[in-house]
Amino acid sequence: MKSRHLLDSARYAIEGLAHVLHRDWHMRLLFLIGAIVLLFSAVVRVTRVELVLLCVAITLVVLAEVLNSAIESVVDLVSPEYHPLAKVAKDLGGAGVLVAIAMGLLITAGVFINADVLDALRGAAQREAPHPLHVLLVGTVTVVVAVILGKVWGQRGTLTRGGAISAHSAVAFFCFVSIWFLTPDVITRLLGFGLAVLVAQSRVDAGIHTVREVLIGAGVALVVGFALYGALAMRTGA
């Protein structure tokens, strides 16, 4: 079936991602590991180039797993019974994932097993504080990954609507935490909190989420936000 609209293509892509997340626990594990790596990158203050390399490594592994799942689905459709060539196709798909993981580990090790990073971890060297956009990106990705995994494990709703955790509430409250740490202005902080509450309330009023689900989303964002910014504050001595 040919997509007639860009939004349709995006929706089909999200449905494909939801399928592989529900079907393959490896993909859920990769999402979790990717979020942890990005969080650690902010704490040890990697450079912008190192951050890009880490994002490339994570994307490479996830992409390989998606393609492997697609190959397995096609092979199961064409050859429901065992066939030597079907086995070869699946083995080749698995080999692609293995190569991608090896390359991802190599890139990640090259970034973290670095004299500057190791010295910074021991407190022997002071690296430049990460750019606020770096922290915001890492935190947002971590919150989104937590929401996606919660939706998958909760087995309710879809990745884009409904589910055990409200993504809108989570992102809104993470933005509030970011505002809290990035500005000392009380009025701005209160406005950020008020907007987060309004976003959460709108999901309840629209019947998309329950109060419990938006509270879970807010809780996830608050835990990730305060843990991330708190760790950075302790490392800077603030």
Contact of 101 with 61, CB cutoff 8 Å: yes
Residue 200's contacts (CB-CB under 8 Å, 6 or more residues apart) are: 166, 168, 169, 172, 173, 214, 215, 217, 218
**Active site annotation includes 72:** no
Tokens 């080999």 found at: 95
Residues 15, 50, 65, 128: which is the catalytic one? 65
CB-count exposure of residue 55 (10 Å: 0-12, 13-18, 19+): middle
- How far is the C-alpha of 204 from the C-alpha of 168, rounded, in Å? 11
59 touches 117 (CB < 8 A):
no
Pair 167, 144: CB distance under 8 Å: yes
Active site residues: 65
